[in-house]
Amino acid sequence: MLTQTVTTLARERPYNNLLRRLSPPDYALIASYLVEDQAMPNELLYRPGDDVQIVHFPCGPALTSYLVPNEDGRDVETILVGREGAVGGIVSEGFLPAYTRIVVKFGGPFVRLPLSRLAAAKLQSKTLRNVFARYADCMLAQMFQSTACNAIHSIEQRTAKWIVAAMDRTDGEPTVPLTHEQLATLLGVGRSYVSRVVQTFRAEGVLETRRGAFMVRDFDALKQRSCLCNEAVKTHFEEVLRGVYPTEQAAAG
Amino acid sequence: MLTQTVTTLARERPYNNLLRRLSPPDYALIASYLVEDQAMPNELLYRPGDDVQIVHFPCGPALTSYLVPNEDGRDVETILVGREGAVGGIVSEGFLPAYTRIVVKFGGPFVRLPLSRLAAAKLQSKTLRNVFARYADCMLAQMFQSTACNAIHSIEQRTAKWIVAAMDRTDGEPTVPLTHEQLATLLGVGRSYVSRVVQTFRAEGVLETRRGAFMVRDFDALKQRSCLCNEAVKTHFEEVLRGVYPTEQAAAG
DNA sequence: CTGTGTCTGTGCACTTGTGAACACAAGAAG
DNA sequence: CTTCTTGTGTTCACAAGTGCACAGACACAG
């Protein structure tokens, strides 16, 4: 009976793991302020210096990317955020200039919430505050891992890692719409070398390619070629986001 | 008269920028729980999985480092934290497993504070909460920049950057006690290449070297050889940590 | 079906960085 | 002073990655 109710409520919620994780009373604190929206690829959510006042929750297959602008105009990606999280004022709690550019990589549904409302809800509910603090910690872990990854892992590993990370956030949709050039820029490396890596993946039957997209043929093989960074971060997410609520066992999945 | 009082109070405080930035009433909320201590180089403050319950404020020339453990045992540094900040539960607010190892790089005085006390103080003071949220945002900016830096900047630039960053946090003390090996590990690169880079710096009169230490001869030249990452982050610190208190102008410096 | 612009595959010369090796020097400990 | 450990300078063969160049291929608009 209880699980029945939970399932029903969950179905009404946007397909964002953070929002779905909230207990019904916590969700009720913000539900009426959530605004649903749709975003297109390459849409700009925040630019450096912007006063951050809204938090965006990517839903379903929507995917966003934190980009650090660079002296020579190349924007390097630091982390990828999909429906497992949210972007905008997660750590700062907002009302501060953004440091990075955040853009939509894969279009899809989004939910927006004014940070002032979120702040108010956090003051009312310790558990809601807790969920967001825990997600912030997970996001940080993701960044720690990215920093280390960029220092020591090969371009082949990082290429594989990126595609796996994207698929992990889009229900395993095997088609990843991205040009070699775009992927190379995200990784901060040369395009021709990425093309060559992709070529070897294709030769090994791991990927197929189309103009502007990869189609993953052998997901496990791709994982094997990637570094372990995705897994390390995923483990932290699971550890940290479990156990916010006392009755957590019931709300799993 | 007012500035007089402020100065006097400031002199009593530990030499940590975050603590010094607090207004007298905010500082009073935590002052009696602060415990002074001394830490030695390579002392371990947190290890991955530890339940984080205490925040550490490095004071004076003390310097700490977030290290991400790696599959092959090499721990890569993500960010360096000195007296401009604090480590432990900054983003997560604690009571969660740590993701990184945090070690003392340069020994010196520290101040410890139980996170439960900090949390209580945050609930009592909006401005205190604000100071820590802003520092968390700065720390995040530092990480964003590190991630991008590791992706695109040369080892020469990153070597210079590291030494400059260390000096920025130690009153410009020109002697940096570190072996080539240690620096190489922090950067996640090969030792012999670092030695070569150091050699060119020495040949150009930028550094002198001793066993286990660098002595910076020409700080400006070193800055020129480093990437702009330090500056970008420093700018963000100044923008964000300014203006927490309405009467901020008086408390500058 | 034709043109057009972008994306891709590949070659090449080159730079950056690796990792192992080894001789030697500095410094601490006896 | 001697011994031993650890750090440093340097060499070498090699791997990884760059940046440019250019031909061809694809997809799309007309």
B74-127: per-residue pLDDT in tens? 899 999 999 999 999 999 988 899 999 999 999 999 999 999 999 999 999 999
Beta strands of A19-166 (E only): which ranges?
Answer: 35-39, 44-46, 54-58, 63-68, 76-81, 101-106, 108-114
Average pLDDT rounded to a whole number, residues A183-205: 97
* Cβ burial A176-192 (10 Å sphere, 16+ → b, else e): bebebeebbbbbbbeee
Tell the residue number behind the tokens 């480590």, with chain if given: B87
Contact across the interface for A140 and B140, Cβ inside 8 Å: yes
Residue A179 reports pLDDT greater than 50: yes
Nearest CA to B142 among B61, B69, B82?
B82
Question: Does residue B134 sit at the A interface (CB-CB below 8 Å)?
Answer: yes
Nearest CA in chain B to A89: B137
Task: Look up tokens 């070629």; give the residue.
Answer: A225
A145 to chain B, any CB pair closer than 8 A? The answer is yes
Q: Provide the β-strand partners of residue A127.
A: none
pLDDT at A199 over 90: yes
Look over chain B and give the mean of its residue pLDDT values, rounded to a whole number.
92
- pLDDT above 60: residue B244: yes
Q: Do B89 and B97 contact (CB within 8 A), yes or no?
A: no
Give the per-residue pLDDT at B95. 87
A72 versus A2: the higher-pLDDT residue is A72
**Per-residue confidence band for B3, with pLDDT thresholds at 50, 70 and 90:** very low
pLDDT (0 to 100) of residue A9: 47
B190 touches chain A (CB under 8 A): no
Provide, rounded to the nearest whole percent, the portion of chain A with pLDDT above 70.
Answer: 93
Task: Please count the residue pairs, one from chain A and one from chain B, whose beta carbons lie less than 8 angstroms apart.
Answer: 112
Segment A128-155, tens digit of pLDDT: 999 999 999 999 999 999 999 999 999 9
Residue B181 Cβ < 7 Å to strand D: yes
Residue A234 near chain B (CB below 8 Å): no
Q: Is the pLDDT of residue A2 over 60?
A: no
Mean per-residue pLDDT for B179-199?
Answer: 97
**Dihedral angle of Cα B235, B122, B104, B95, to the nearest 10 degrees:** -130
Q: Please state, in angstroms and rounded to a whole number, the distance separating the CA atoms of residues A78 and A65.
A: 7
Question: In this predicted structure, what is the pLDDT of residue B32?
Answer: 94
Q: What is the mean pLDDT of residues A176-184?
A: 97
Query: Mean pLDDT, to the nearest integer, of B54-59?
Result: 98
The answer to whether A18 and A131 have CB atoms below 8 angstroms apart is yes
The pLDDT of residue B2: 43
Contact A143 B145 (CB under 8 A): no
B93 in Cβ contact with B83 (< 8 Å): no
pLDDT value, residue A12? 75
pLDDT at B195 exceeding the cut of 50: yes
Gap between the terminal Cα atoms of chain B: 17
**Higher-pLDDT residue of B153, B172:** B153
Q: Which percentage of chain B shows pLDDT scores above 90? A: 86
- Local structure of A54: helix, strand or coil: strand
Residue type at A15 in one-letter notation = Y
Which one of B52, B66, B68, B76 makes the best mutation probe of the A interface by having the most chain A beta carbons within 10 Å? B68
Q: Do B136 and A187 touch (CB under 8 A)?
A: no
pLDDT greater than 60 at residue B31: yes
pLDDT of residue A244: 87
Q: What is the pLDDT of residues A80-90, one digit of tens each?
A: 999 999 999 99
Write the pLDDT tens digit of every residue in A6-51.
Answer: 444 445 799 999 999 999 999 999 999 999 999 999 999 999 999 9
How many Å apart are CA A209 and CA A199, to the nearest integer? 9
The pLDDT value recorded for residue B94 is: 84
Check residue B9 and give its pLDDT.
Answer: 47
Determine the residue of chain A that is closest to B243 in CA distance.
A96
pLDDT at A5 over 60: no
Contacts with A168 (C-beta within 8 Å, 6 or more apart), sequence order:
A82, A230, A234
Higher pLDDT, B78 or A243: B78
Pick the residue from chain A with its C-alpha nearest to B238: A97
Average pLDDT of B146-154? 98
Q: B5 CA to chain A: closest CA distance, Å?
A: 30
Contact A187 B148 (CB under 8 A): no
pLDDT of residue B4: 47
